[in-house]
Structure 1
Amino acid sequence: MEVATESMEVKNGNSSEPVDDRCSDNDFGPSILGTKEYWEEAYQKELETFTDIGDVGEIWFGEESMSRVLRWMDKAKIPENASILDIGTGNGAFLVELAKHGYRNLTGIDYSPASVELSKNVLQAEDLTDVPVKELDFLNCQGELKGFDVCIDKGTFDAISLNPDNSVEGKKLYVQALKDALKDKGFFAVTSCNWTKEQLLDRFSEGFEFVQDLPSPSFQFGGKTGNSVTALIFKRVH
């Protein structure tokens, strides 16, 4: 359930607003982008396109978003046998890149059946049939996901924040599910086009330690400098 940057409200940038105000649970209004129905329809279309012409579809946040995380993994010396979870795997493109980079213990999850089928087809086309992709809602995984060294999210937390039903509860469930999934001292790499660094630091302040932010494209507007994408690394701490 990855999210295209052009489809989301961009809120990143420097601001004089107090952090408490900017981290409100009411930052976003409800959106169809937060619904399972939207993503199922989107990935069903991508699945049909892949079946017809072999096009895997859009690389959400662009290829650089994957390279950015892979460069960090190299510098952090994440071992090739590290257990890695791709949260909201979408079309499975990041799983392919991780596998090509030498990582062998990969798992992808998505709550969209069409996404799971698309990911499996994309992986099969790359002769990566040993990479499991599961149809699973991260917010309701009931302890099924445990013991991961690294969890990666490109846009899934953004989409959860836009859920029309109960985004407040969804964000709390996400943090708890992430705590359950990661080993002690395991890493969490999150890429967002809706949340600022300060907001993400606040959201993941309990049970996580901030490690670093990853360079992302910046822009200038009205005499201020900001980023259209925020990419942060956290470490799970007990």
Structure 2
Amino acid sequence: MSEAQFAPSALGTKEHWDAVYSRELKSFQEYGDEGEIWFGEGSMARVVRWLNAQRVPPTSSILDIGTGNGMLLVELAKSGYSNLTGIDYCTQAIELARSICEKEGVPQHVHLEVTDFLETFHPVQQFDICLDKGTYDAVSLDPSGAAEKRRQYIKSLCHALKPHGLFIITSCNWTRDELLIAFGEDFEIADELPTPTFNFGGHSGKSVTALVFKKKKSNL
């Protein structure tokens, strides 16, 4: 999807996500339902498999930007990673994530914080790895100045990552080439994670893109 095709959407507002996670928290409390996993469980497995294949040390500091219900952090903790942080600007999302971490027996490995990545998140120390699974997509739909929000996102990302830190993004709104343009000034492509392809009218494509970026030396 090109930038010109984007239109303001409720999906880009905090009010929308407050309502979503209020419902999901209530559902978890009443029925034990952990809620929706963005892009499906396969999207989490791809990230975990890549980290394992790269032999990323289990003590590496990992930040999940817009963690939602925290299921990606749960999967990482179950895979042996022990220095995990999840942030979200929705109080109900963090409450849900905390409850799920308790249920899954991994709260000791996960730090959760209610904060806005673009405005109020000021980490004491930078992270080895930052993860994004749909948050940049939501920022891109914000009706109150999405272009500026995307620029602020990249600034916040540069501040959050250590020198040579890795950024793994999964997106359904942006193609590989569009993400390379958006992040190319501050990051270099390190890898592309395999995602399902589709065929239509004799052409093939992808509905989801997953890329690994490395912070450039000029932005250390």
> Shorter-chain TM-score category?
over 0.9
Aligned twin of 1:181: 160
Question: Which runs of at least 4 in structure 1 moved beyond 6 Å after TM superposition?
Answer: none
Calculate percent identity across the aligned residue pairs.
50
**1:30 Cα deviation after fit:** 0.1
Aligned twin of 2:38: 60
Per-residue CA distance 1:84-103 (angstroms, 9 max, x = gap):
00000000101100000000
The residue identity in structure 2 corresponding to 1:135 is V
The residue identity in structure 2 corresponding to 1:188 is F
**1:60 Cα deviation after fit:** 1.1
**1:44 Cα deviation after fit:** 0.5
Closer/same/farther in 2, CA of residues 106 and 142 from structure 1, 3 Å limit:
closer
Per-residue CA distance 1:83-139 (angstroms, 9 max, x = gap):
000000000101100000000000000000110110011111112222111001000
Aligned twin of 1:37: 15
SS in 2 for 1:39: helix
1:65-76 paired onto structure 2 within 5 Å:
65-76=43-54
**1:180 Cα deviation after fit:** 0.6
5+ unaligned residues in a row in structure 2: which ranges? none
The residue identity in structure 2 corresponding to 1:44 is S
SS in 2 for 1:56: coil
**1:223 Cα deviation after fit:** 1.8
Aligned twin of 2:88: 110
Per-residue CA distance 1:18-75 (angstroms, 9 max, x = gap):
xxxx4x4x33000000000000000000000000011101111111001111111012
Aligned twin of 1:123: 101
Closer/same/farther in 2, CA of residues 142 and 136 from structure 1, 3 Å limit:
closer
Distance 1:32 1:43 in 2: 14
Aligned twin of 1:92: 70
Aligned Cα RMSD in Å?
Answer: 1.1
Q: TM-score, normalised by structure 2?
A: 0.95
1:206 paired with 2:188, answer: no
Residue pair 2:115, 2:121 contacting (<8 A) in 1 also: no
Distance 2:162 2:127 in 1: 6
**1:142 Cα deviation after fit:** 5.2
Residue pair 1:87, 1:110 contacting (<8 A) in 2 also: yes
**Of residues 184, 205, 210 in structure 2, which corresponds to 1:231?**
210
SS in 1 for 2:76: helix
1:101-180 paired onto structure 2 within 5 Å:
101-130=79-108, 131-141=110-120, 143-144=122-123, 146-180=125-159
Aligned twin of 1:78: 56
**Of residues 19, 30, 51 in structure 1, which corresponds to 2:29?**
51
5+ unaligned residues in a row in structure 1: which ranges? 1-10, 12-21
SS in 1 for 2:107: coil
Q: TM-score, normalised by structure 1?
A: 0.88
Closer/same/farther in 2, CA of residues 158 and 134 from structure 1, 3 Å limit:
same
Closer/same/farther in 2, CA of residues 88 and 142 from structure 1, 3 Å limit:
closer
Aligned twin of 1:18: none
Distance 1:124 1:72 in 2: 26
**1:141 Cα deviation after fit:** 2.9
Distance 1:208 1:145 in 2: 22
Per-residue CA distance 1:206-232 (angstroms, 9 max, x = gap):
121101111100011122110010000
What is the number of equivalent residue pairs in this alignment?
A: 216
